[in-house]
A and B are shown apart, each in its own frame.
Chain A
Amino acid sequence: MTTFLQATIAGLSLASIYALLALGFVIIYKAMQVVSFAHPAVMLFGAYMVSWFAVDLGMGFILSVVLGAVAAASLGWLSERVTIRPMIGKPLFAIAILTIGLDIVIRTPINNLIGLDIRTVGSPWGFNAWNINGVTVPYRSVAMIATALVITVLLFLFFRYTRVGLAMRATAIDQEVALAQGINVGRIFSLAWMMAGAMAAVAGMFAASDLAGLSQSTYIVGIKALPAIVVGGLDSINGAVIGALVIGLIEAYTATYQSSYAPWLGGNFSQVVPYVVLLAVLLIRPYGLFGSPEIERV
C-alpha cells in the first residue's frame, strides 16, 4: 500500500507537468487547428529563463517564475506573429511543419546557452519532504500538484465566465462567425500562444526542479505531453487534463512495479509506456477519449 501511494504521488506530480503542457497544446490547437511542435522548445526556453533569473541574476524564486512565464509568453506571441500569422489560410499541414522548423530555431540557441552542465532553477523546496505514515510526500510534489490544480481551475473559470474566454471558445468553433460578431480573431491567436507559452514555462520549471535539473534533455518532457493530448483528444480542455493524469499515473506505476512484475521488458520501460498508450489509443479511438470524431463526407 505504501508503495502504491508513493507511486501515485509520483504519478500525480508527473501529471501536473503534462497537464500544464497539454493545456497549452490544446489551447493553440483549438484556436488555429494546428499542433505546435515548437511547444516543447518554448517550455525549454521558459525553464531556462527561470533558471537565468533565479540563479544567474539571483532574483527571488516566485519573481523568477513570473518573469520566466512572461518571457515564454512573449516568445509564444512573437513566434505566432512572425511565423504563423502570415501562413493563415495555407494548408494546416504546412503550418504544422513550420512549427517543427520553429522548434529547431528556438532550441538551438537555448541548447547552446544551457551547454553541457546541469543547471538548477533555484526552487526553494529542495529535496525536503513530509513523512506521512511511511509515505514520503516531497514538497516539490505538493507545489506541483497545487499549482497545476489552481491553473486548471482558473482556466476553466476563464473559459466559462469571461468575455475573452467565451470569445476564444467561439473562435474555436467557427472563425468566420466569430469575426462577424466583432471578435478580433488575430488577437485571440496571440492570446492562445501567450497563454500556452506561460504555462509551458511553469511546466518546464517544475520538470527541471527535480534531481535531474535543467539540461538539454529536459526537452523530452515536452515531447511526452503529446501522448497526453492524443489520449485526451486534441480539442478538449478536460481531455488534456485527464490525458495528463492517465499518462502520468501509468508512467509512475510502470516505474514502480514493472521491474518486479515484468522484468523481461528491460530497464526504464516507464519512459516508453506513454507511447505504448498513445499507440493503443490511436488504434482504438483515433480522436482521443474526449475529442470530437472527425467526420469526413465523400
Chain B
Amino acid sequence: MLELANVEVVYHDVILVLRGVSFKVPDGQIVALLGANGAGKTTVLRAISGLLDVHNGDITKGEITLDGDAIHKSSAASIVGRGVTQVLEGRRVFGEFTVEENLRVGAHTAKGDMSGQMDRVYELFPILAERRKSTAGYLSGGEQQMLAMGRAMMSNPRYLILDEPSLGLAPILVQKIRDLIVDINKQGTSILLVEQNATMALSIAQHGYIMETGKIVMDKPAAELMKDEDVQEFYLGLHAGGEERKSFRDVKHYKRRKRWLS
C-alpha cells in the first residue's frame, strides 16, 4: 500500500502548495486523483516520486509510506528501485533516441538481463515492437504516450503513477490508453491516475479523490463519485438541474460559491 499522510509541500521555501494531503493507493487497485488546474495534483506526484528537488520544493510536514516504510526522504532513484515509477505529464520521451533505447533507459534500475521485461512491454504495446528502431521524436502523440508508459513499465513497477496520460490525444486514442491502463492493472500493477478527463478516469478507477487548492476535498468510491451531483457538474460536464446558464460569468460566480472548501 502506498500512503500519504498529511503531506505539506512548500516551493522555494515560501509557496505553500499542498496543505495536508492524505490518501492511499491499495495494492491491485486503480485510484484516480482529480482536480482543476493548479490544485496541486502534479505536486503530489512529484512528492511521491522524489522529484520535488528539481523544482526547488520540500516536504515540510507529513509522510509518504510504502508498505509502512517512509520513502519521502529517499532519492528518486531509490524510489524507482522500490517499485514506484512515474510517467511524467506531456510524455517527455527521449526524442533523439530510438524506441528501444528509450525502453533500455527505463530498465536502468533493473540490473541484469532486460530482454524478458522488454518482451512483456512489447506484448502490451505491439506498436512499439513494430517501431523499435524508429526515432522516438517522430512517433505520433499516442505512440509517444505508449512509449512513455512502456518505458516506465521496464522497471517492472508495483505502483505506476500516470500524470495526464490522455493529454492532447484524440478520443479514440484516449480509449486505447484507457484499455491499456486496465491491462497493466490486471497484470498486477497498482495505478495512481491523475486526469483532467474525469469521465475516463472514474470509469476505470475503484476509488477517486478530488483535490482543490492543495487539499483533498472529497473522496468516495468511483461509482459514487460518478453519481455525485457536484462532481457531475464540475468534472463530468453534466448539469445538475438541467437549467440553461445565462452566461459564462454566471457560471464563474456560481462555481466560486459552490467550492467545497474555500
Contact = CB atoms under 8 A, between A and B. Distances in A.
A175 interface: yes
A182 B81 contact: yes
A297 interface: no
Interface in B73-126: 75-77, 79-81, 85-88, 92, 94-97, 101, 104-106, 108-109, 111
**Category for how many chain A residues contact B:** 10 to 19
B155 interface: yes
A184 B54 contact: no
A184 B75 contact: yes
B54 A170 contact: no
A166 B54 contact: no
Contacts of A163: 104, 108, 111
Contact of A182 (B54, B85, B92, B104): B85
Interface string A195-223: 00000000000000000000000000000
B72 interface: no
Given A163-B108, A173-B95, A181 B51 contact: no
A180 B51 contact: yes
B76 A170 contact: no
A183 B77 contact: yes
Interface string A159-171: 0000100110110
A179 B155 contact: no
B88 to A, nearest CB: 6
Contacts of A174: 92, 94
Interface string A172-191: 01111111111110000000
A154 to B, nearest CB: 19
B262 interface: no
A89 interface: yes
A183 B80 CA distance: 9
A180 B76 contact: yes
B51 A170 contact: no
A142 B68 CA distance: 62
Contacts of B88: 176-177, 180
B49 A180 contact: yes
A165 to B, nearest CB: 10
Nearest to A177: B92
Given A169-B97, A176-B88, A181 B54 contact: no
B97 A170 contact: yes
A184 B95 CA distance: 21
Nearest to A174: B92
Nearest to B81: A182
Contacts of B155: 181-182
Most chain B CB atoms below 10 A, which of A163, A174, A182: A182
A184 B76 CA distance: 8
B56 interface: yes
A78 B81 CA distance: 27
Contacts of A184: 75, 77
Most A Cβ at <10 Å: residue of B50, B95, B104 = B104
Contacts of B95: 173
Given A163-B108, A166-B101, A177 B76 contact: no
B135 to A, nearest CB: 13
Contact of B76 (A89, A166, A179): A179
Contacts of A176: 51, 54, 88, 92
25 contacts: A89-B56, A163-B111, A166-B104, A166-B108, A167-B108, A169-B94, A170-B94, A173-B94, A173-B95, A175-B54, A176-B51, A176-B92, A179-B54, A179-B76, A179-B77, A180-B49, A180-B51, A180-B76, A180-B152, A181-B80, A181-B85, A181-B106, A181-B151, A182-B155, A184-B77
Interface of A: 89, 163, 166-167, 169-170, 173-184
Nearest 5 CB-CB pairings of A with B? A182-B80, A182-B109, A179-B76, A184-B77, A170-B105
